[in-house]
A and B are shown apart, each in its own frame.
Chain A
Amino acid sequence: MLKIENLHASVAGKEILKGINLTIGAGEVHAIMGPNGSGKSTLANVIAGRDGYEVTAGSVTYHGKDLLAMKPEERAWEGVFLAFQYPVEIPGVNNTYMLKAGVNAKRKHQGEQELDAMEFMQMIREKAKLVELDQSFLSRGVNEGFSGGEKKRNEIFQMAVLEPSLALLDETDSGLDIDALRVVAQGVNALRNAERSIVMVTHYQRLLDYIEPDFVHVLADGKILKSGDKHLAMELEERGYDWVKDEAAAAV
């Protein structure tokens, strides 16, 4: 479903990603772990299409299409979703209005009929329950005055509404206490299905206790150094990242 080959990317002239190779199948959950500054968030942002990241080499193929040639909104219409590490506050832009515009733009792109206001409201009320988001949040400005935990829940709520086929969760667990993490993880787990792939970028192994990944990758210094299953995450928790780096260095 997603195939990343030899991806190199720079930010402000500095190379951050130095040849990423990663293949993600439909319905798989991948965790990308790594120390700070390893390029985890850069990878998520390059896939979502944020400005300021220059791809210098390599390719990203999504459902057989060249993802890098698409504008951010086109990626969204094709089913790519990014849950932001730091969701921005947009005062005055109504949460529901934004989602309705997004959902209908996607439906239009896919040749489906746009939802009317009634159908849409019914749908989002259902989805809000999934992450225990109070109904009052629906009519508030996007993330306006939300606490850290509320912002992260709002991201997963939006994921539920937009029904992506590829969801990138950029440190969705950071800054959450256990109870909030449990709610967010429940939401994500409820959204797992055979068609939907999920990439979780995280710093903490703790997240993986709640959302069990099919694959775990260690990203350090712009490259994936090691891949495995959930046992790799446990090993990382115990031993840190240095041994992976040493092992990779020895292999060269």
Chain B
Amino acid sequence: MSDLTLDFSTLPGDAGVQALRQQAVDTFTRTGLPGRRDEDWKYTDISRITGTLGETWWLPMPTEISVTEISDIEGLDAYRIVFVAGVFQPESSNLPDTIQLKPLSALLTEGADEPSHCLFKLDESAPLFNGFLATNSALASDGLCACIGKNIKLDRPLYVVHVGNNTAHVLNGLMLGQGAEVTLIEHFVGGDSAGAGLSNIATYLRLQDNASLTHYRLQMESAKQFHIGRVEVKQARDSRYTLHAVELGGSLSRTDIVVKLAEAGASCDLNGLFVASGRQHIDHHTRIDHAAPHCTSREQYRTVLDGRAHGVFNGKIVVAEGAVKTDSAQSNGNLLLSKNAEIDTKPELEIYNDDVKCAHGVTVGQLDENQLFYLKSRGLSETEARQLLTFAFADEILTAMDNNAIRRFIEKAAFAKLPNMTDLDGLLG
């Protein structure tokens, strides 16, 4: 596979960008795709992707995707940025004019633009670096690029919708200036064709001093789609990053979340929920680097797996020698609704100083028999009691969402997937 050349000659970008694309191709030629011998890919077999999409798995297939399918999230008031098969759609979008925001494609064709260069620059030493990221850098031609100025509080969330069952390499960059506040919603949905492709999405987020970013990442691809994601966050002093990652769709989905708490007082809060059924495979590898003193990290992941679904959670936290007064807590709860469902979960803590507070916990189980009996003794049927407990388990993650429109939307979407979970009117009332 590594002898195949990624062809970027027709892609936009000035000489600087093209040179970086060439470097990415060279890197890919050297590293190839990760295999199951790589510790970080032990439980996720990407031959499912290459086997389905073929030897030239990275190539978009020419298909028509109708944009009429894009459904809004009810009650969500936001700026909308739409990409179909990885291509920006100006007529479906509604951009804010108060901030510097452009699709990457526009930046690349408008000529030299230094900020967009840095998005293409790869750092092979970065945690969880892999060949998909190199491919993204070599082939990406569109995405979202925005810089939010100092002390700007964006009045509405940025709602970025990615539609399509095609293969697309999307590169996003968002920079928050000192004291800026933004909510970013990334929503991945399938189009109306039954085709399969790979969504290869890289999102780089930079938070300057005291900036605050709330990030919703909603993976709701169509059933045959493959999704490979990377979210890389770098946080300066006192900045705050909150992630709500929801994984509902796709055939195989793997996302790496890499957060660096680079300066004192920074904090991150990662919330993750997987609801998977059938033969879905969902994998999140998260990595939090405590590189400075007085930083706080919170991480809470829950998975609800039915059918033959396979979940993978790896949460690595590295506390550097100088990162004293670190306060870190991680928890991962897994609910297996079927005996054929599987979860591989691994918390990893590396701590290089003594002055830290780190807690972590993992649970794997079925519904609690005592709780079931309690509910039944109050008159709830077996089915109702199971529904309610499953809902409650997952909903604990969703309660952390402060955007009610999204929370409600996700609650409905998540629970529509599970058996006997259709009647939620009373519950969500």
- Give A72 to B384 CA distance when docked, in angstroms: 13
- Any A CB within 8 A of the CB of B426: yes
- Indicate if the CB atoms of B427 and A97 lie closer than 8 Å: yes
Partner of B374, one of A91, A101, A142, A162: A142
- Give A125 to B378 CA distance when docked, in angstroms: 18
- Any A CB within 8 A of the CB of B125: no
- Give A72 to B371 CA distance when docked, in angstroms: 13
Tell me which residues from 44 to 96 in chain A have a Cβ below 8 Å from any Cβ of chain B.
48-51, 71-73, 75-77, 81-82, 84, 87-88, 90-93
Tell me which residues across on chain B come within 8 A of A115, comparing CB atoms: none
Tell me which residues across on chain A come within 8 A of B381, comparing CB atoms: 73, 105
| Given A50-B373, A51-B373: A90 and B392 interface contact (C-beta under 8 Å) | yes
- Any A CB within 8 A of the CB of B382: yes
- Give A239 to B371 CA distance when docked, in angstroms: 39
- Indicate if the CB atoms of B371 and A90 lie closer than 8 Å: yes
- Indicate if the CB atoms of A99 and B375 lie closer than 8 Å: no
- Give A93 to B370 CA distance when docked, in angstroms: 14
- Any B CB within 8 A of the CB of A103: yes
Of B380, B384, B427, chain A has the most CB atoms within 10 Å of the CB of B380
- Indicate if the CB atoms of A88 and B374 lie closer than 8 Å: yes
- Indicate if the CB atoms of A92 and B378 lie closer than 8 Å: no
| Given A90-B389, A92-B396, A97-B427: A49 and B377 interface contact (C-beta under 8 Å) | yes
Tell me which residues across on chain A come within 8 A of B368, comparing CB atoms: 88
- Indicate if the CB atoms of A106 and B379 lie closer than 8 Å: yes
- Indicate if the CB atoms of A92 and B377 lie closer than 8 Å: no
- Give A91 to B381 CA distance when docked, in angstroms: 19
| Given A51-B369, A97-B426, A101-B384: A92 and B392 interface contact (C-beta under 8 Å) | yes
**Looking across the interface, which residue of chain B has its beta carbon closest to that of A48?**
B377
Tell me which residues from 381 to 429 in chain B have a Cβ below 8 Å from any Cβ of chain A.
381-382, 384-385, 388-389, 391-393, 395-396, 399, 426-427, 429
Tell me which residues across on chain A come within 8 A of B373, comparing CB atoms: 50-51, 72
Of A72, A81, A82, chain B has the most CB atoms within 10 Å of the CB of A72
- Any B CB within 8 A of the CB of A102: yes
**Looking across the interface, which residue of chain A has its beta carbon closest to that of B392?**
A92
- Any B CB within 8 A of the CB of A158: yes
- Indicate if the CB atoms of A76 and B379 lie closer than 8 Å: yes
8 contacts between A and B (CB under 8 A): A49-B377, A51-B373, A76-B378, A82-B377, A97-B427, A98-B380, A99-B378, A142-B374
Which residues of A approach B to under 8 Å, CB–CB? 48-51, 71-73, 75-77, 81-82, 84, 87-88, 90-93, 97-103, 105-106, 117, 141-142, 158, 162
Q: Which 5 A-B pairs have the closest CB atoms?
A: A92-B392, A102-B379, A76-B379, A102-B378, A72-B376
12 more contacts with CB within 8 A, not counting A50-B373, A98-B388, are A72-B373, A73-B385, A76-B379, A88-B370, A90-B375, A90-B389, A90-B392, A93-B389, A101-B378, A105-B381, A141-B392, A158-B378
